[in-house]
């Protein structure tokens, strides 16, 4: 990983007593430091927090670069778990859509129903992936839920019923894993607290200390998470 990623874009000196590192939405590192802090003092703190800085920068730089309004043409880019893959066509009849870890391959016989094929595929993938992650966090933190359901919700990434049923939009798996985990943990924490009180956010933070950065990413880029 290049050291350029951990060089500060801006250093702001004030009357504060300690050095603070801030990652902006574009991935830029901003340092807020006391007036007495030398450049060497700042670089020592940056070096100590290098892994944390890079992790946050990578999260915020995972911005989809393709047009979310898909035309389902050869070479078009589609996102899965925050990574970009290319669409190709094949003469295969079934299944209508295949993902081999490198490309999406759509049967030419389904060109007129490409969007439907993608939705079916994403829903199936989402059910498997999100169920496994929900089980992981629930087991790790002794949370009991009743079921997981995948929906076609456009603006609501997840929800939780008073009976412990978890609902998630299939569009969520277009996002990076860290964002998916945030939504899953958010809904799992609602099982114990059906509100957004201070206590609720304390519970979320106990599982994901950096949940605020993940939430910012979702608020900033959520509208790009679509295949329609």
Mind listing the pLDDT tens digit for each residue in 35-75?
999 999 999 999 998 888 887 777 766 655 445 578 888 99
| pTM for this predicted structure | 0.75
Mark whether 48 and 107 lie in a shared domain: no
Instruction: Give the rounded distance of the alpha carbon of 153 from its chain centre.
Output: 17
Position 218 in a domain: yes
Mark whether 43 and 85 lie in a shared domain: no
Position 116 in a domain: yes
* N-to-C CA span, the chain: 35
Mark whether 166 and 100 lie in a shared domain: yes
In terms of Cα–Cα distance, which of 32, 95, 89, 62 is closest to 179?
A: 62
**How far, CA to CA in Å, does 90 sit from each of 31, 74, 87, 104, 225?**
51, 10, 10, 10, 26
Mark whether 28 and 132 lie in a shared domain: no
Mark whether 132 and 98 lie in a shared domain: yes
Specify the number of domains making up the chain: 2
CA–CA gap between residue 120 and residue 115 (Å, rounded): 9
Mark whether 32 and 137 lie in a shared domain: no
Mark whether 100 and 198 lie in a shared domain: yes
Domain boundary among 28, 60, 92: 60
Mark whether 81 and 56 lie in a shared domain: no
Mark whether 118 and 40 lie in a shared domain: no
Mark whether 99 and 33 lie in a shared domain: no
Position 140 in a domain: yes
Burial 92-126 (b: 16+ CB within 10 A, else e): eeeebbeeeeeebbbbeebeeebeebbbebbbebb
Residue with tokens 């081999």: 100
Q: Which residue range(s) make up the domain with 17?
A: 3-60
Mind listing the pLDDT tens digit for each residue in 65-121?
445 578 888 999 899 998 889 999 998 778 899 999 999 999 999 888 999 999 999
> What is the spatial order of strands in the sheet that 147-151 belongs to?
147-151, 165-169, 158-160
Mark whether 95 and 180 lie in a shared domain: yes
pLDDT of 2: 46
CA–CA gap between residue 27 and residue 7 (Å, rounded): 11
Cβ-proximal residues to 56 (8 Å cutoff; 6+ apart), any chain: 23, 210, 213
The DSSP bridge partners found for residue 67 are none
In this predicted structure, the answer to whether residue 127 has a pLDDT above a threshold of 70 is yes
Peptide bond before 95: cis, by omega within 30 degrees of 0? Answer: yes
Give the CATH number, domain containing residue 185: 3.30.2010.10
């Amino acid at each position: 990983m290049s050291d350029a990623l951990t060089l500060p874009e801006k250093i702001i000196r004030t009357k504060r007593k300690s050095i603070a590192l801030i990652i902006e939405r574009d991935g830029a590192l901003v340092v807020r430091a006391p007036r007495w802090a030398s450049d060497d003092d700042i670089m020592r703190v940056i070096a100590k927090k290098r892994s944390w800085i890079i992790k946050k920068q990578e999260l915020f730089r995972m911005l989809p670069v393709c047009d979310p309004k898909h035309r389902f043409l050869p070479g078009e880019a589609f996102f899965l778990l925050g990574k970009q893959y290319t669409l190709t066509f094949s003469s295969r009849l079934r299944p209508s859509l295949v993902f081999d870890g490198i490309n999406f391959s759509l049967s030419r016989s389904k060109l007129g129903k490409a969007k439907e094929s993608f939705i079916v595929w994403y829903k199936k993938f989402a059910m498997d992936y999100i169920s496994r992650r929900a089980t992981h966090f629930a087991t790790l933190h002794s949370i009991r839920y009743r079921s997981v359901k995948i929906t076609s919700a456009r603006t609501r990434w997840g929800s939780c019923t008073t009976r412990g049923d978890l609902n998630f939009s299939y569009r969520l798996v277009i996002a990076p894993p860290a964002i998916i985990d945030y939504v899953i943990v958010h809904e799992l924490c609602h099982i114990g607290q059906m509100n957004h009180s201070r206590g609720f956010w304390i519970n979320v933070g106990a599982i994901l200390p950096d949940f605020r950065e993940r939430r910012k990413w979702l608020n900033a880029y959520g509208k790009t998470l679509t295949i329609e």
